[in-house]
Amino acid sequence: MNETERNLRADGLTHFDAQGRAIMVDVSEKAKTVREATASGRIRVSKEVRAAIENGTAKKGNVLGVARIAGIMAAKETSHLIPLCHPLPLAKCAVEFDITDMEDKTTDAYVIARATVRTTAETGVEMEALTAVSVALLTVYDMCKAIDKRMEIGAVHLDRKTGGKSGDFVR
């Protein structure tokens, strides 16, 4: 029984050891492979915010351009933000946005952010993708909050991960 197995807990909380102490779990016996994760989320914005973003994007004040940079830089800060997350080299990080009407046909809209992160490492980059999405959406909030403070961030989730022993995941 190796250390990783000894750390397996019945309740599945792998970030704690058998005594319940938080640990950054040992990955030194795992294979270094190419791993990729895609996460997405959205922020609900008013008609006025949508117009400001769309006009700014087309012309000058580029809200989504700034949010994209914030998301990419945040992916690189993930292990400094999430206490038990392993520091990893990142091979790639991309963040893209879409703006869509609401399902229920109100005048509000969704700005959707999707981040894809890739690494060659012993552990995956789900948290990097989720952090990039969250900070990109927070940046949209920050840049538009003078217009409307009621924006809401939601549906932040993992879309897909590939690579690693636990197998691929598609939501």
Among 6, 13, 101, 102, binds a second copy (CB under 8 A): 13
CB of 160 to a second copy, least distance (A): 10
Determine, following the binding rule CB under 8 A, whether residue 126 of this chain makes contact with a second copy. Answer: yes
Does residue 11 have an active-site annotation?
A: no
CA distances from 15 to 7, 82, 96 (A): 9, 12, 31
Determine, following the binding rule CB under 8 A, whether residue 162 of this chain makes contact with a second copy. Answer: no
The footprint of a second copy on residues 65-84 (CB under 8 A) is: 65-66, 68-70, 72-77, 79-84
Amino acid, res. 49: V
Q: Which is nearer to a second copy, 101 or 145 (CB)?
A: 145
Q: Which is nearer to a second copy, 111 or 141 (CB)?
A: 141
Determine, following the binding rule CB under 8 A, whether residue 129 of this chain makes contact with a second copy. Answer: no
DSSP letter for each residue of 43-109: EEE-HHHHHHHHHHHHSS--HHHHHHHHHHHHHHHHHHHSTTPPP---SEEEEEEEEEE-TT--S-E
Amino acid, res. 17: D
Annotated catalytic sites, by residue?
142
